[in-house]
Amino acid sequence: MSITTLAVPGVRGLTPYQPGKPIGELEREFALKRIVKLASNENPLGASPKVLEVVRRILGGTHLYPDGSGFELKAALAEKLGVEPAQIVLGNGSNDVLDLVARVFLTAGRNAVYSEYAFAVYPIATQTAGATGKTAPAHDGSRGPRFGHDLETMLERVDPDTRVVFIANPNNPTGTLLGRGELYSFLAALPEHVIAVVDEAYFEYARCPDHPDALEWLGEFPGLIVTRTFSKAYGLAGLRVGYAVTGVEIADLLNRARQPFNVNTLGLAAAAAALEDTGFLEATVQANDAGRSQLEAGFRERGFDFIPSAGNFVSFDLGRPATPVFDALLREGVIVRPLGNYGLPNHLRVSVGTAEEIDLFFAALDRVLVP
């Protein structure tokens, strides 16, 4: 008997999440002096020095359990976001919160709706909970930005067994952004039995005037959950802190299923300190704007189609299978992300790095693509 047959069906059918290749792994594989990792949408500026100082100061307290209620971080977030602490659920990264939503609202016989090319964790969380994932084809470019969520089709996919819709805004790996009006109309049209998760992991980077802040609609839509993270613009991916903001009833349900100490001591303190360093956040967003333009210019120069992105990454079309190019870039010490598992076998996703890292990426790409 195979042990695999003992697992629940949803897990047996899963394809594991493919994280960006860690720098250490590449160092072990090839003897490389300089490695550039542009694979996981991390902050190339690191974290705020003020945050690191706070983390250093509290290192002596690691033998104690963290504050399981996250009191101080929730208070700081509540003040910043203009909500009540009881509306916030903290997670071990926002990934944890997405998983909690699935565990609380999904089970066998229910389904979740998400878009083609949407963030890979939605199917994982859905199927692990025993539910079925329903994928709505993305825009083909005729009625909305190519690769972007097609909210009309997503709405058509909703049925009496749907309990959750996942919307990433901006979406990873496409970087596509939904505007205020269309997202609002979609949320307003959703039936009452459906929880809408608006995943705003890249919220801070998307600065176009039409960019919705879904928190504004919490009072209006009782089934709305907005998720955000400290992993991206705040540069704390390694400390794992994310959160959901929602109505108090949903927050209470999510908190019931949450592991009691899901956010660690260092993460809690670092996130609270990070909220205060608005200068670092501003510098991050400005550097990202510049780096994203640098990437776009480089793709244009080389004649590659890229997907206009509102995040801290750009996906581009090589016009041929991307895996050999990805592998060759690895040997050059450059880690990017292949998107075959998203159904985009000719695309690579490149995170916005420093200007120097982007130059190194293009130099490596040019070497690799020499006929």
Ligand X SMILES: Cc1ncc(COP(=O)(O)O)c(C=O)c1O
CB 190 within 8 A of CB 222: no
CB 313 within 8 A of CB 39: no
Does 119 sit near ligand X (CB under 6 A)? yes
In whole angstroms, the minimum distance from the beta carbon of 49 to ligand X comes to 21
Nearer to ligand X, 347 or 364 (CB): 347
In whole angstroms, the minimum distance from the beta carbon of 60 to ligand X comes to 26
Nearer to ligand X, 163 or 349 (CB): 349
CB 306 within 8 A of CB 317: yes
Distance CA 57, CA 70 (A): 18
In whole angstroms, the minimum distance from the beta carbon of 1 to ligand X comes to 35
Please work out the total of residues on this chain that contact ligand X, with binding judged by CB under 6 A. 13
Residue 9 neighbours by CB distance under 10 Å: 11
The one segment of 65-73, 91-99, 203-211, 333-341 that binds ligand X by CB under 6 A:
91-99
Site string for ligand X, 189-218 (x = CB under 6 A): ----------x-x-----------------
Closest CA to 114 of 27, 237, 196, 10: 196
CB 118 within 8 A of CB 168: yes
Does 115 sit near ligand X (CB under 6 A)? no
Does 43 sit near ligand X (CB under 6 A)? no
Distance, CA of 341 to chain centre: 16
Nearer to ligand X, 255 or 364 (CB): 255
Q: Supply 31's token pair.
A: 């003897």
Does 231 sit near ligand X (CB under 6 A)? yes
Q: Beta strand 132-136 with 111-115: parallel, antiparallel or unpaired?
A: parallel
Q: In terms of C-beta density within 10 A (0-12 exposed, 13-18 middle, 19 or more buried), how is residue 1 classed? A: exposed
Does 315 sit near ligand X (CB under 6 A)? no
CB 197 within 8 A of CB 165: yes
Distance CA 361, CA 345 (A): 20
Does 313 sit near ligand X (CB under 6 A)? no
Site string for ligand X, 151-190 (x = CB under 6 A): -----------------x---x------------------
Q: Candidates 123, 133, 242, 353: give the one binding ligand X (CB under 6 A).
A: 242
Residues near ligand X (CB under 6 A) are 41, 93-95, 119, 168, 172, 199, 201, 229, 231, 237, 242
